[in-house]
Amino acid sequence: MKFNTIKRTTKNVIIVLMAGLFVSSCSDYLDVVPDNVPTLDHAFANRHACEGYLFTCYSYLPAMGDFIETPDFQGADEFYFGEMTTVKNGLDRKMWGLTFGLQNKTNPIGNTWDGQYEEQSNQFGKVWFGQPLYKAIRDCNIFLENVNRPYDLEEYERKRWVAEVKFLKAFYHFYLMRMYGPIVLIKENQPVSDTPEQMAQYRTPFDECVQYVSNLLDEAIVDLPEKIQDRSNEMGRATKAIALSVKAQLLTMSASPLFNGNPDYANVVDNRNVHLFSIEKDDNKWKLAADACKAAIDAIEAADGGLLFPEDVPMIPELVGVEVDTLKQEYYLRAIMISKWNKETVWGSVKNHFVDRVQRYTSCKVSAKEASQVWVSQLFSPTFDVVEAYYTKNGVPMEEDREFDYQHRYEPRLATSEYKWYIREGEYTAGLHFDRELRFYASIGFNRAIWWGNGKYDFKRKDYNNKDEVRYIRAYAGNASTEIAGKSGESYSFTGYWAKKLHSPLMDTSTGGSGTWGGDGRIPFPIIRVADLYLLYAETLNESASTPPDDAYKYLDLVRKRAGLKGVKEAWQKYSIYPDKPLSKEGLREIIHRERRIELAMEGARTWDLRRWKEAENELNKDVRTWNIDGADKEDYYNVISIDRRSFTRKEYLWPIKEYNLTVNKNLVQNYGW
C-alpha cells in the first residue's frame, strides 16, 4: 500500500492546527506552505485525491515491527545490544533508555503526544521515535468532515473509507491511552472561532476514554469488510476482525491491574478536582473484556482465520519426503512469524522495517560466506530472561520440571545423535539447551545450535559432517575464520543468543545486501495474531471467574497443542513439582502470563503486558546476564556473567507528558511521579 501525504494551506486548517498547541507543543504543524501546493479543496476534489487523504490517515500508524521507532522491542527484557554509552553500527538507542532509567519529562523517549522526529546521518535517515498521534487524529477528523465532497466516490466505498478512518482514529486514541492513561479526546477538530482558553483542553478520565474509543470502534465495525478481497493491494487495511481485536485489547487493558483499582493514581486530579483514574476495582471489566475477545475470535474464524498448523504451510521441496518431523515442526513454527499474510495474521504492518532492520540486526553468521557480510549484524541479542522462560519438552517451566537437571543447567554437555536436529552432534553446549520445547528450538539460536535453512536445506546429504553443509552456530572467541559467529569487531551477539524466530528459513544472508532478506518478499510484521487473542481470552475468562472455567483451559491448550505440548492440567499433573497449580485462579494466572511470554516472545507484546499487569517493577530491575562471549573454549565460554542492570521505577508505567506542554496548557495535569 502506498501512503501519500497531502499538504494543506487553507486558513481554516491552519487555525485548527493551532489548536494542537494546547494539546501538544510540536511547531511542525504550523509550517508555512507555498501557494502552489494543493489546498484542502483539492485534497477532496475527486475519488483519487480523497483516497490519497485516506492513506495519509494510515501513514501515522506506528512502525510496529521496528526496534528503533517504537518501544515494543526495547521496552522490556527480551533483547540487549550493549551499554547505553556504546554506539554500534550507527544504531540509535533512544528506546533503550526506557528500561535503563533514562525516561524524562523534558524530552520524553518515544513521545507520541507531540511526535518525535530526527533526520539522522546514518543509514536509517528519517526516523520517527514517536509518531505525532494527535496530528494523526486531527487529520482523521478532517477526512471525516470532508469525505462527502468527491463527486465520483461511490456510496459503498465512502462508507468503507469512513469506517476505516473511524477505526484509525480509535486506534490512535488507544495507542495514546496505552502510553499515557487518560488523554485529551479529540472527538472533533475545534471551531476556528474558539478562544485560546477554549482551546486549552483537559484530559478525560480514563474510563470515559475507554468508553469513547469502544463506541468509535463499534461504529467502524458496521461498515468494515469481513476480510480483504484485493489481497494484492489492500492487505493491512482495516477489517471487522481487526477492529474487534483492537477492542479486545482495549477492554483487556482497561480491566488489568494498572488501570483497574490502582491506588497509586488516586491523587492524579486536574484543576477542576476531577479524578482521572478510578481507584475502585471493577471485576465486571474482565467480563466485558472476555466478551470482546470472544467476539474478535468469532470474527476471525468467520473470515477463515485461525491458528497456523502444518497443513496450512506449503512445504518446501527439500522437506517433502523428509522423515524427520522435527524439521517440519520447526519450519511451520517459524512460518507463524515469517510466512507472508498467513491465516494467523489478523493485522500485519505494511509500514515497518522488519526486514532491513530487525532481521538484519538479529541475524546470525552461520557460514563462511557470511563472515564478511556487513548486512549480517548479530547485534540485537535475545536475553537469558527469554531463554529461560521457555518450557522443557514436558511443557512446564524448567525450574518446576521433575525430570530436568535444573541445578546443572549452565554446565557444558556433549550433544549425541539423539539431539542432532537441534544441536550439532559431537559438540558441547550448555545443559540449558537440551530437552526444551519445540518453540525454543524454532525461536532461539545458541552456540552449537543447528540453524536450518539460510541457503542449506537438504539434511539427506551424505556430507552431513561437512560444517558448511549443515549450518550451525560457532560462537567461541579467538578464531574468526572458524568461529564465525563469535565476538569479532562490532558484529556479534552480546548475550550468546540469536533470534531465530524472526528469520525466514528461506532467507539466504550469505550473498549479502538487503535484497536477499525476507525469503518471502516484504514480510508484514504481525501486529495482532490469533494466538494473542486466544491467550487474551483465556486470561480474561480466568480473571472474570472465581475458579478457572473450562474455556480458559480450552483456548490455552489450543496454543500449547500447536506447539506440541500436552494440556496444562495433564502436563502439570505429570511433570511439575506443583501439580495442582493449574487448578486455582492464581496458579492459572501465572501459567497464562508465562504462556504469553513464550508464545509472543520477541514480538513486542511483553512491553505492554508487563505494564498492564503491573509487573514491570519486579521484572525490569534485574541484571543483564550473558555467556562469557570472550571465552575461546567450552570451559571459558559457558560461564554466566552480569554485564549491565536494568532500571524501572513505579512512575515509569506511564509516559510523562512533555513538561513544556504543561506550561502552554495549564489545564493539563502531569502523570503520577513525574
Encode pLDDT of 134-143 as tens digits: 999 999 999 9
How high is the pLDDT of residue 361? Answer: 74
- The size of the chain, in residues, is 674
CB within 8 A of 618, min separation 6: which ones?
none
How high is the pLDDT of residue 321? Answer: 56
Residue that has been written with the C-alpha cell 546521518 in this structure: 121
Mean pLDDT across the chain, nearest whole number? Answer: 87
By mean pLDDT, which of 26-30, 216-220, 285-289, 347-351 is the weakest? Answer: 26-30
Amino acid present at 369: K
* 593-621 pLDDT, tens digit each: 999 999 999 999 999 999 999 999 999 99
Bridge pairing between strands 116-119 and 126-130: antiparallel
Statement: residue 89 has pLDDT above 50: no
- How far apart, in whole angstroms, are the C-alpha atoms of residue 385 and residue 644? 13
Mean pLDDT, residues 376-397 taken together: 93
Q: Taking each helix axis from N to C terminus, what angle separates 550-562 and 568-575, rounded to the nearest 10 degrees?
A: 80
C-alpha cell at position 336: 507463524
CB-count burial class (<10 Å; 0-12, 13-18, 19+) for 145 = middle
Find residue 645's DSSP bridge partners. 623
| Terminal C-alpha separation, the chain | 40
How high is the pLDDT of residue 191? Answer: 86
CATH ID of 11-61+132-307, from 3.40.50.300, 1.10.530.10, 1.25.40.890, 3.40.50.1220: 1.25.40.890
Statement: residue 2 has pLDDT above 70: no
CB-count burial class (<10 Å; 0-12, 13-18, 19+) for 89 = middle
- How far apart, in whole angstroms, are the C-alpha atoms of residue 493 and residue 97? 20
Mean pLDDT, residues 215-242 taken together: 97
Statement: residue 91 has pLDDT above 90: no
* 160-176 pLDDT, tens digit each: 999 999 999 999 999 99
C-alpha cell at position 389: 522462560
* Residue from 499, 526, 537, 554 nearest 344 by CA: 526
SS3 category, 605: helix
Q: Which residue has the higher pLDDT, 33 or 603?
A: 603
* 172-200 pLDDT, tens digit each: 999 999 999 999 999 999 888 888 888 89
Find residue 100's DSSP bridge partners. 647
- How far apart, in whole angstroms, are the C-alpha atoms of residue 627 and residue 365? 18
Mean pLDDT, residues 516-538 taken together: 82
- Report the percent of the chain where pLDDT is more than 90: 68
Displacement of CA 642 from its chain's centroid (Å)? 26
Residue 95: pLDDT band with limits 50, 70, 90: confident
Statement: residue 559 has pLDDT above 50: yes
How high is the pLDDT of residue 12? Answer: 39
Statement: residue 465 has pLDDT above 60: no
Statement: residue 662 has pLDDT above 60: yes
- Alpha-helical (H) ranges within 106-232 are 133-146, 155-180, 196-199, 206-223
Residue that has been written with the C-alpha cell 538479529 in this structure: 362
How high is the pLDDT of residue 379? Answer: 78
Statement: residue 253 has pLDDT above 90: yes
Q: Which residue has the higher pLDDT, 438 or 37?
A: 438
User: Does an H or E element contain 591, and which?
Assistant: helix 585-599
Statement: residue 656 has pLDDT above 60: yes
SS percent in the chain: helix, strand, coil, step 5? 40, 10, 50
Q: Which residue has the higher pLDDT, 315 or 276?
A: 276
- How far apart, in whole angstroms, are the C-alpha atoms of residue 258 and residue 254? 8
Mean pLDDT, residues 500-513 taken together: 71
